[in-house]
A and B are shown apart, each in its own frame.
Chain A
């Protein structure tokens, strides 16, 4: 149980690192948003599972339920928040030049 928690914590930390790298290295806003969101969602996910397992290994089984609630919160709030940021970016006309396909424009939903 303890080893599993360490594995999850290391995976989580690795994904946080990749997410941070992505935010620094990606060329435009949309790419940065997706790097920051996807990587940190999984990172927070596995970090939380690791914390829950670590607490369970020392006998605190009730942490698991709290961790599950936190995970549900992160899994919903992170993509929703980043989609709102992406929409705001789109509405502020801060669109990169190399955009190939613009579904919102072709469907006539752009502001």
Chain B
């Protein structure tokens, strides 16, 4: 009964959405859009690319033109991490016991691999304005390194407090940089550093700085979620 009801609701909602979107001016028919009038065309303009200075166009849009959206995106991740911590967190936590006992080779090997994975993630974060990648994938790689240690080392427990401090500091500096844009330039999160040459490591103004902050924030948030899932409240 419940399933039938849910099915009917979703079908009705789908018909409603289709009817609401058809024949309106806000959503022209497929193929009728003139792309030269759209704002995305301005993002592809070579003059604008040189003004932003980011070789990776996706990064130029995500952090350069739409930095405020990215701030919201980071906030969404923060809130979801907060929700997980609200449900799974507690005062005294101990890590879950693994079903198997990792042997010596697995433990030591993963500890060595941890460093290499961190190097890779920082490379991806630092080159976010030059190559595909950036703060979000780099942060996810940091968290995956933490997850690897959790699974391969039965005594490992991540420094949760350090992660929380790192996350808060990175998020605050992100907002402070946005406010500095308001001070030195005209708008929130506007680029106030020189753009430099396209393709250099130190270029694109505040984009690499913000991406490093996003990488640290995303990495510590997802590592915190991993920690929340792999710990349980200590039975008193």
Interface positions of A (Cβ within 8 A of B): 69, 72-73, 76-77, 79-80, 83-84, 87-88, 91, 111
Count of A-B contacts judged by CB separation below 8 Å:
33
For this complex, 12 residue pairs linking A to B, each with C-beta atoms less than 8 Å apart, are A72-B116, A76-B109, A76-B113, A76-B116, A77-B109, A79-B109, A80-B109, A83-B103, A84-B102, A84-B106, A84-B152, A87-B100
B106 with A73: CB separation less than 8 A = no
| B-side interface residues, number (CB < 8 Å) | 13
A102 nearest CB across to chain B (Å):
16
Interface centre among A77, A80, A83, A87 (most CB of B within 10 A): A80
Whether B120 sits at the interface, judged by CB under 8 Å, is yes
A residues within 8 A CB of B110? 80
**Residues 80-131 (chain B) with a chain A CB within 8 angstroms:** 100, 102-103, 105-106, 109-110, 112-113, 116, 119-120
A residues within 8 A CB of B105? 79-80, 83
A76 with B106: CB separation less than 8 A = no
Interface of B (DSSP majority class): helix
B112 with A87: CB separation less than 8 A = no
How far, in whole Å, are A77 and B152 apart by their CA atoms in the complex? 12
How far, in whole Å, are A8 and B119 apart by their CA atoms in the complex? 26
B residues within 8 A CB of A91? 100
How far, in whole Å, are A88 and B99 apart by their CA atoms in the complex? 11
B116 with A73: CB separation less than 8 A = yes
How far, in whole Å, are A69 and B102 apart by their CA atoms in the complex? 25
A77 with B106: CB separation less than 8 A = no
A residues within 8 A CB of B119? 69
How far, in whole Å, are A77 and B116 apart by their CA atoms in the complex? 10
B153 nearest CB across to chain A (Å):
12
